[in-house]
Amino acid sequence: MAKQNAPFKFDIVGSFLRPEELKKARADYTAGVITAEQLNEVENKCITELVAKQKKAGLPVITDGEFRRSYWHLDFMWGFHGIEHIELDHGYFFHGEETTHGSIKVTGKISGENHPFIEHYKFVKQFEDENTVARQTIPAPAQLLAELFREDNGKDTLAVYADQEELIQDIAKAYRTVMQELYAAGCRNVQFDDCTWGMFCDAKYWEARQKEENVSVEEEAEKYLRLNNLAIEGKPEELVINTHVCRGNYHSTWASSGGYAPIAPYLFVKEQVDAYYLEFDDERSGDFEPLKYVSENKKVVLGLITTKSPVLEDKETIIARIHEAEKYIPLERLCLSPQCGFASCEIGNNLTDEEQWAKLALVKEISEEVWNR
């Protein structure tokens, strides 16, 4: 296994476009045409091929591309005890598009033992070599809390957890259990994917929510921050936990907008992660000034290459933006990646497989030029 751990100067967020073979197999399984074992065989084959492509691209980190998931977050949540899969009558409302309708329901006390993602990780772990380390991506604990109170979901949640502090403690404990089991399986790199902070950045979202619920950004941010840190508390020293802050990534559309200024004093100062993977691919992400809040012991991965468009960025423009960010954080603490995954949900973004790998080749080329490695 590679001694160095994430983040890397040339890095990724984690998800990749699903091959048609895999999409068909998942559809066939849902329709009852093939068995779970047959679906698993196709998933294993496609992930094995993906890992080979990641290594060929020169990536120091490998993932399963989230090929066993429908969603970047819900499949993981469904793996907890006390949570079941439900379908709502609508999805998330993104900019110009509605997502598919999956969600979660609390049916009992939440716990994390024997989570199916442990076996998913072990499959990728076998492909590690002296040049690569296997990463496990999971939604942040705050994301689970947000989903539990998504619209009418809160009624089911409160029926089981009348005391919200008990809920927060159980979520944190469940995550600690999963991460302990991942660590025992050899995992040294966990990534929290977190859209909650993207919502905090969106002024229109908070104006509407404050009218409906009379809550403040400060109170909610502190609650979500505390939950994430409770989950991280007591982790093994060798386990690196990073986080990706997302504004929504579904079929090349987005959910929230706004710079990092409203959350910087909370997220960048107080969250006990090792690095932040941050979206900076368009004007919706704001400028780099909030990076001045990032603690000196943490790194930042600049998501300057968009996964939402097939258009390849201009290399010199990206390099100039890296040096602009350097005004707030030393270059050695900066890294480069695409702004998000290529397929946060199985539908994927609007670009081809060839265009996906061209984006990563550009990230590699720029990282080698900027950091001379």
- Going by the DSSP 8-state scheme, the letter that residue 26 receives in this structure is H
| pLDDT tens by residue, 8-18 | 999 999 999 99
- On whether residue 174 sits in a domain, the answer given is no
Encode burial over 90-118: b for 16+ CB neighbours within 10 A, e otherwise. ebbebeeeebbebbbbbeeebbbeebebb
What residues pair up with 338 in beta bridges, in sequence order? Answer: 305
- On whether residue 159 sits in a domain, the answer given is no
Q: Are 128 and 185 in contact (CB under 8 A)?
A: no
Q: What is the mean pLDDT of residues 29-50?
A: 98
| pLDDT tens by residue, 110-162 | 999 999 999 999 999 999 999 999 999 999 999 999 999 988 899 999 999 99
Gap between the Cα atoms of 46 and 40, Å rounded: 10
- Backbone phi, psi, residue 47, to 5°: -70, -40
- On whether residue 156 sits in a domain, the answer given is no
Task: Please state the domain count of the chain.
Answer: 1
**13 CB contacts (<8 Å, ≥6 apart)?**
137, 191, 193, 244, 277, 303, 307, 337, 338, 339, 340, 341
pLDDT at 2: 42
pLDDT at 373: 58
- On whether residue 176 sits in a domain, the answer given is no
Gap between the Cα atoms of 105 and 158, Å rounded: 11
pTM of the model: 0.93
- CATH code at 281? 3.20.20.210
Domain that holds residue 347: 20-77+89-100+121-146+186-371
